[in-house]
Copies of this chain bind each other. A is one copy, B any other.
Amino acid sequence: MKKTAVVLPMVSLRTTPNSVMETQERIVDILKKNSLSVTDSRKKILRYFLESDGALAHADIEHQSGTEFDRVTIYRTLQTFVDKGIIHTIPTADNAVRYALCKDDCYAGHHHDDHVHFMCDQCGTTYCLDHITVPGISLPAGFKAQQTDLVVSGICSKCNN
């Protein structure tokens, strides 16, 4: 139950109006819009997310980056991105938390990741099904829902042949 609640004004994340930005520019853009100083580690880690179609676990980033930066830096960077609403976590039952980019309407302290996630049992890829929203669940009396996480597992379209 450790939750850093930094409240900042709502800012948009992934897209910038009126231009097709280069990835590198978009990366810097996202960091600056979230009042984060632009460092090598943050740029690299954010790039991994932008260039990946699936979610990433800490270990994925650690393996991809090799010795480029410290493990601790990855942990701290991921936490910072979550706090700012740049990425969100995806619950799993396999002790490997995954992270994925948030959509525009997420901001510091307030995530809007009410979409369905899909984990492929075969290739292991975790997808954000951004356009499939989580249905409302009617709970027993006295229970108050704060957030709903829905993860479907099975075979993804790439593996399904």
Contact = CB atoms under 8 A, between A and B. Distances in A.
A156 B132 CA distance: 27
Interface stretch (A5-13, A40-48, A101-109, A135-143): A135-143
A36 B24 CA distance: 58
A142 B157 contact: yes
Copies of this chain held together in the complex = 2
A154 B143 contact: yes
Interface string A95-131: 1110000000000000000001010010010000100
A142 B121 contact: no
Given A132-B138, A145-B153, 5 more contacts: A91-B92, A137-B152, A147-B153, A148-B152, A149-B150
